[in-house]
A and B are shown apart, each in its own frame.
Chain A
């Protein structure tokens, strides 16, 4: 390389250096701008424009979050700024700033949070991720009715309270259609002939896939021996949805400590009236299950239908009832191995 070439390159390089520095500065500025354009910041600016009284001297409200009784963090109120504000309940308030609909009852947002019922990813601030599942691009089906009823199973026995009609019907269909004859639920229930896959996590799959599996199983599994439930489900309206909701509920973690009356932990800590219950919890001297299903159908059921091999011993959960998985050690509270 001659001296002249070197000089020439040197000049070019000095210019490149200047350009490179400017480019880097531009990129850094771009980063800051993009951060400022985060969806939640934009929404908060819009909210403050509509409700200037909330500004209180600052330009933005920052990240707002609930720390729930299940020790989870939900950042939903960052965008859903009016969710716990009764003065913003009117229809004219635009979404997402409107207050939560009526009927929350004791499910106060700052105690229960949002994602315990509505699913989604509570920690996320990106709308797509917050309303969806991390492993799927789709919106979490638990967001709205009726699929939100699946979340009730986190704390409540299905059907124990009002507002769980779909979930309850789904649980009944699961029992009545005989799913457990072929599909195990290894998480706690056991049983079945194990022809088909464990259904504990099946609720995570795409809802169209699940519907196909019920109505036309060979579409998903060519050569499968699973029968089609098209006719059985057609008998009742919204039966398929209810069953899907129940399947989705099986996936969810249980929160036994949230102060619900039907605790899903050991019955040992429960009062005698749990089982020897007459009306209003009075002791009745007779054994009477509190499980809402057994109560409703007690004339149709016989003990032997579930307790086929004798009262199940402690530790393994028993029989074919998928709901018993929540009463894992509970039977031994009253029943020993001799019944």
Chain B
């Protein structure tokens, strides 16, 4: 009986401790219109820690947090570098050297019916690199 009491207290306590909701910003949110992002540019959205890239291959969004310990990476001439422990990434977030083991994660980016680009930080893509995003008629960079 004592065991049952202790076990239920511990298990119940741990379940209470697991967060059911999160304060703060939503994981799915709009980024703006495709025309906000010029062709062949990399835009840094500082308030959501994201890079948005647009080139001939399409558009993509990837994280600017180093996969080692979460510092913001900085842009260099040929990619990114993390100021905390010197992890180096290529221009599409692939690991070049340093203590990071995973590349910068890319998130699903799509065009909603309202004409805005939306991103979902809970859905990481398997492949890095910009993908074509269907543009509505008459919208150009």
Q: Do chains A and B touch in the complex (CB under 8 A)?
A: yes
Q: Which residues of chain A have a CB within 8 Å of any CB of chain B? A: 184, 186-187, 190, 194, 198, 309, 313, 315-316, 337
Closest to B42 in A: A194
Known: A194-B41, A315-B32. 12 other contacts (CB 8 A): A184-B44, A186-B44, A186-B46, A187-B46, A187-B47, A190-B36, A194-B44, A194-B75, A313-B32, A313-B33, A316-B33, A337-B115
Least distance between B137 CB and chain A CB atoms (Å): 14
Set B35, B47, B115: member contacting A186, Cβ < 8 A: B47
**Is the beta-carbon distance between B46 and A315 smaller than 8 angstroms?**
no
Smallest distance from the beta carbon of A1 to chain B beta carbons, Å?
A: 48
Q: A residues within 8 A CB of B86? A: none
Task: With both chains docked as a complex, state the minimum distance between the C-beta of B77 and any C-beta of chain A, in angstroms.
Answer: 11
CB atoms of B46 and A198 under 8 A apart? yes
Q: Quick one: which of A186, A187, A315 contacts B30, CB cutoff 8 A?
A: A315
Q: List 14 A-B contacts (CB under 8 A).
A: A186-B44, A186-B45, A186-B47, A187-B47, A190-B43, A194-B42, A194-B75, A198-B46, A309-B35, A313-B32, A313-B36, A316-B33, A316-B36, A337-B33
Instruction: Say what secondary structure dominates the interface of chain B.
Output: strand
| Chain B residue nearest to A315 in the complex (CB) | B32
Question: Which A residue sits closest to B46, measured CB to CB?
Answer: A186
Question: Complex: how many Å from CA A316 to CA B45?
Answer: 11
A106 smallest CB distance to B (angstroms): 33
* B32 contact from A187, A194, A309, A316, Cβ within 8 A: A316
Closest chain A CB from B4 CB (angstroms): 50
The interface residues of chain A lying within 8 Å CB-to-CB of B44 are 184, 186, 194, 198
Nearest chain B CB to A244's CB is how many angstroms away?
23
CB neighbours of A184 from chain B (8 A): 44
Q: Which residue of B lies closest to A309 (CB)?
A: B35
Residues from chain A with Cβ under 8 Å of B75 in the complex: 194
Alpha-carbon separation in the docked complex, A194 to B46 (Å): 13
Give bound CA distance, A70 to B60, whole Å: 40
Residues of B within 8 A of A313 (CB): 32-33, 36
Alpha-carbon separation in the docked complex, A337 to B138 (Å): 13
Nearest A residue to B75 via CB reads: A194
CA gap between A309 and B36 in the complex, in Å? 9
Contact with A along B42-66 (1 / 0, CB 8 A): 1111110000000000000000000
Contacts of A187 in B (CB 8 A): 46-47
Rounded to whole angstroms, the CA-CA distance of A184 and B44 in the bound complex is: 9
Complex CA–CA separation, A187 to B44 (angstroms)? 11
Task: Give the chain A neighbours of B36 by CB distance below 8 A.
Answer: 190, 313, 316
Q: Bound state CA distance, A186 and B75, in angstroms? A: 15
Closest B residue to A316 by beta carbon equals B32
* Nearest CB in chain B: distance from A190 CB, A: 8
Report the bound CA distance from A198 to B75 in whole Å: 12
Beta-carbon contacts under 8 Å, B1-49 to A: 30, 32-33, 35-36, 41-47
Q: What B residues does A309 contact at CB under 8 A?
A: 35
Nearest CB in chain B to that of A313: its residue: B33
Docked Cα-Cα span, A337 to B75, in Å, equals 32
Assembly CA distance A315 to B32 (angstroms): 7
Q: Report the separation of the CA atoms of residues A187 and B36 in the bound assembly, to the nearest whole angstrom.
A: 15
The CA of A337 and the CA of B115, in the complex, are separated in Å by 11
Question: What separation, in Å, do the CA atoms of A315 and B42 have in the docked complex?
Answer: 19
